[in-house]
């Protein structure tokens, strides 16, 4: 019995499919392939993959529809693979429960980093709560129980909202959170979806956390989509 991590590639373009298949196999994963949406939906229950790479542009069923279908009963990480310029679709996919996205064309190191980070998160979230009460990233430490943020041992004074934003991103480190998702989490479901207030807060957070706010090393902006706290 193979104990390798199973990754289902859902992709109709043979060239990309082969590229993904070979790269994953060479890096110790056990890849499986579905060439369309129907195949994907029938393979998932029988093969139980540990992660799914889902192309949004499939010939039979729209990728977003597949995602919607899967999220009713399937908790495994899903990484969306999409073309450049499909920001709206990516946002929609992330809000519907995709874990991450990767934009074509991409390199193997980027793909593998996304895969590792999604798998790590899905393993962590299956641990009992309370095991991740301290978040550490480079000089940044967040103590969720004490609600304190320190940078190289020095306490950083954040407003309540700033703390909420930083801890929200840290709890999903490595994952991009959409503007709408963040606004709902921080200000509640009835808040007006205005990205400006998020931007203003982020500028203040960066002034407090980043050595050079123009080149952030903790929180990256995903243009047109949202923000991501880096994971390592």
Regarding 12 and contact with Ca ion (CB under 5 A), the answer is yes
Q: Transcribe 11-22 into DSSP letters.
A: ---HHHHHHHHH
Which single residue brings its beta carbon nearest to Ca ion? 57
Taking the complex as a whole, the smallest distance from the CB of residue 221 to Ca ion amounts, in Å, to 27
Phi, psi of 55 (to 5 degrees): -75, 135
Q: Transcribe 151-199 into DSSP letters.
A: ETTEEP---HHHHHHHHHHHHTTTSEEEHHHHHHHHH-TTS---HHHHH
- Tell me if 82 sits within 8 A of 89, measured CB to CB: yes
Regarding 61 and contact with Ca ion (CB under 5 A), the answer is no
Q: Which is nearer to Ca ion, 1 or 15 (CB)?
A: 15
Q: Which is nearer to Ca ion, 57 or 213 (CB)?
A: 57
CA atoms within 13 A on the CB side of 151: 13
User: Which member of 19, 23, 30, 57 binds Ca ion (CB under 5 A)?
Assistant: 57
Taking the complex as a whole, the smallest distance from the CB of residue 192 to Ca ion amounts, in Å, to 36
Q: Taking contact as CB under 5 A, which single stretch among the options 4-12, 43-51, 90-98, 170-178 is the one that binds Ca ion?
A: 4-12
User: Which member of 7, 41, 55, 82 binds Ca ion (CB under 5 A)?
Assistant: 55
Residues making contact with Ca ion (CB under 5 A)? 12, 55, 57
């Amino acid at each position: 019995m193979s104990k390798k991590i199973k990754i289902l590639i859902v992709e109709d373009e043979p060239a990309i499919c082969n590229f993904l298949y070979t790269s994953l196999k060479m890096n110790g994963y056990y890849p499986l392939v579905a060439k369309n949406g129907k195949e994907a939906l029938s393979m998932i229950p029988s093969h139980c993959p540990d992660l799914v790479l889902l192309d949004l542009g499939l010939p039979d069923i729209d990728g977003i529809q597949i995602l919607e279908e899967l999220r009713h009963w399937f908790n495994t990480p899903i990484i969306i693979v999409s073309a450049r310029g499909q920001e709206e679709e990516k946002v929609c996919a992330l809000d519907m429960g995709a874990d991450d996205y990767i934009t074509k064309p991409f390199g193997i190191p980027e793909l593998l980093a996304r895969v590792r980070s999604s798998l790590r998160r899905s393993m962590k979230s299956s641990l009992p709560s309370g095991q991740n009460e301290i978040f550490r990233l480079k000089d940044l430490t967040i103590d969720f129980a004490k609600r304190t943020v320190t940078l190289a041992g020095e306490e950083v004074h954040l407003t309540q909202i700033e703390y909420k934003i930083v801890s929200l991103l840290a709890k999903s480190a490595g994952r991009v959170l959409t503007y709408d998702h963040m606004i709902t989490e921080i200000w509640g479901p009835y808040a007006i979806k205005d990205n400006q207030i998020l931007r203003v807060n982020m500028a203040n957070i960066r002034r407090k956390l980043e050595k050079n706010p123009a080149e952030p090393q903790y929180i990256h902006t995903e243009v047109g989509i949202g923000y991501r706290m880096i994971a390592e």
